[in-house]
Amino acid sequence: MNTHLSSASPLTGLEGIPAAETALSRVDGQAGRLILCGAHLKDFTAAHTFESAAATFWGEAQARPAESAEAVRAELGHAREEAFTRLTPLLPAFEGLSTSEALRLGLAAMKGSGKSAPHLAVTGAVPVILAAALRLQEGKAPLAPDAGAGHVADFLRMLTGETPAPAREEALTTYLVTVMDHGMNASTFTARVIASTQAGIDWAALGAYAALTGPLHGGAPEPVLNMLDAIGTPERAESWIADALGKGERLMGFGHRIYKVRDPRADVLKAALEKLKPSGEKLALARAVEKAALAALKARKPGRPLETNVEFYTAMLLDGLAMPRSAFTPLFAMGRIVGWTAHAMEQQRIGRLIRPASLYTGREPGEAA
């Protein structure tokens, strides 16, 4: 008998079906909580630099005490140097590539590129590749890394050629730590499946990045900025939103597939944005749009909670840091690669191949079509 699954069947997307046991993160969509390595998101981001957060994830993944932040800082500095050496002869191939394509090519070239452990090699490579690609797009020569600098500060220096202001480094650090992990999303699941075959951690990260670039993955804040550009001024927020909803259009930056209340990442990034102090006009516009959107959504869809999500304030924060929109997805990967590599390490420690079954819906031999 031919049995067909509908697109709404949980089997077609494994929605809600546990696929792994992990100590790395827990997403509680009903309560609006995100737990990272045993700590609430707000507490985790407040307590960690990029290096100490990465050390915590990697230690948790291997069920052993975390390395010191100082040790990871030195290891990542060395990994950035190795990545730059490996990348230099590849730079002519970046011509004509998008920023995301350049990162994909660069990560693929890092395989077995030096003495750094694979999780350090790929984590160290991302800021080097991204900064080089963006500078080449502006007609500027890439800058070599400074192994003694912090990971985030060195990326900003390689990008601009200047030592970053502490507020810029802090804001970007908060963003990168906030997005390091978020449950069993599509890219993280991809990393675990690849790692479960005992393929390299670096290949698991590359596969995860490929999954991230798909339009259904999420974490793409560019449309939020397009919406804010279209609205223009705080005074137009209510009328523009009412008109958009009247046409059945989706408001970018609101609602989430998992969170039924406010996305906790939005509040962390909102606080980081306000500390960064972008232009008063942009912040006023963001506040007006958020207020008008939440009121309109509540009035039009009272039974469906639609709150501000991480993409709204990600867009504002990265724009406040003067990051080009083409860099938003690679920047997300710069933080999430810690989670991808940690999940891959955890999966390999477990040592179990991920090999799910499928439900056959085709015809039996001899059955009429």
Q: Is 60 a catalytic residue?
A: no
Q: Let me know the angle formed at the C-alpha of 204 by 182 and 219, rounded to the nearest 5 degrees.
A: 35
Torsion of CA 44, 45, 49, 53, to 10 degrees: 40
> Which residue in 119, 151, 182, 256 is the catalytic one?
256
Gap between the Cα atoms of 184 and 199, Å rounded: 19
DSSP 8-state assignment for residue 254: B
Q: Is 4 a catalytic residue?
A: no
What are the Cα distances from residue 61, in Å, to 58, 66, 109, 140?
5, 10, 25, 39
What are residue 308's phi and psi, to 5 degrees? -65, 135
Gap between the Cα atoms of 161 and 139, Å rounded: 14
> Which residue in 67, 81, 311, 346 is the catalytic one?
311
What are the Cα distances from residue 308, in Å, to 44, 184, 257, 269?
21, 21, 12, 11
What are the Cα distances from residue 166, in Å, to 50, 130, 145, 214, 275?
14, 21, 18, 33, 11
Beta sheet of 33-36, edge-to-edge order:
25-28, 33-36, 39-40
Identify the three-state secondary structure at position 40: strand
Identify the three-state secondary structure at position 260: coil
What are the Cα distances from residue 129, in Å, to 106, 160, 161, 280, 348?
6, 14, 15, 33, 27
Query: What is the residue-wise DSSP string for 280-334?
Result: HHHHHHHHHHHHHHHHHHHHH-TTS---B-HHHHHHHHHHHTT--GGGHHHHHHH
Q: Is the dihedral of CA 278, 279, 284, 290 positive or negative?
A: negative
Gap between the Cα atoms of 316 and 282, Å rounded: 8
User: Which positions are annotated as active-site residues?
Assistant: 256, 311
